[in-house]
Amino acid sequence: QVQLVESGGGLVQPGGSLTLSCAHSGSIFAIYAMGWYRQAPGKQRELVATIPGGGSTNYAASVKGRFTISRDNAKNTVYLQMNSLKPEDTAVYYCNVEGRASWGTFSSWGQGTQVTVSS
């Protein structure tokens, strides 16, 4: 079983910064992609940023230039650096990992971490 543990959410003023972390554990043979998604109240979950096993990163238009996704393979962790935060960035943020384990392919989600941007 693959487990994801997120951290780093909280309350921040507009224009501020936060860094989210997501550590994964389990018998993973290969990771195909890691990503961050968010869900605001009354809205559907949406993609924020993804980082594949190889190739370039991908960002939602609304966060491009403000957010940066990165991964540390040695720490089994994916990060989301969020700068110039806006009230509309307020949401529960979820990390997602897709890969292959001993039992087959998987797509696992973290428990979610609340990000609130407010003065």
Asked if 33 and 53 touch (Cβ cutoff 8 Å), the reply is: yes
The confidence score (pLDDT) of residue 57 equals 94
Token pair 């309350």 is at which residue? Answer: 11
Answer whether 98's CB lies under 8 Å from 105's CB: yes
Two structure tokens written together for 119 = 């003065």
Q: How far apart are CA 20 and CA 1, in angstroms?
A: 23
Q: How many CB atoms lie under 10 A from the CB of residue 34? A: 25
Residues 27 and 32: their CA atoms lie apart, in Å, by 14
Quick: pLDDT tens for 30-86.
889 999 999 999 999 999 999 987 768 999 999 999 999 999 988 999 999 999 999
Residue 21 to residue 37: CA distance in whole angstroms = 13
Mean pLDDT for the chain overall: 94
Q: Give how far the C-alpha of residue 88 lies from the chain's centroid of Cα atoms, to the nearest Å.
A: 17
pLDDT at residue 1, rounded to an integer: 82
- Strands 18-25 and 10-12, by their bridges, are unpaired
User: Which pLDDT score is estimated for 90?
Assistant: 98
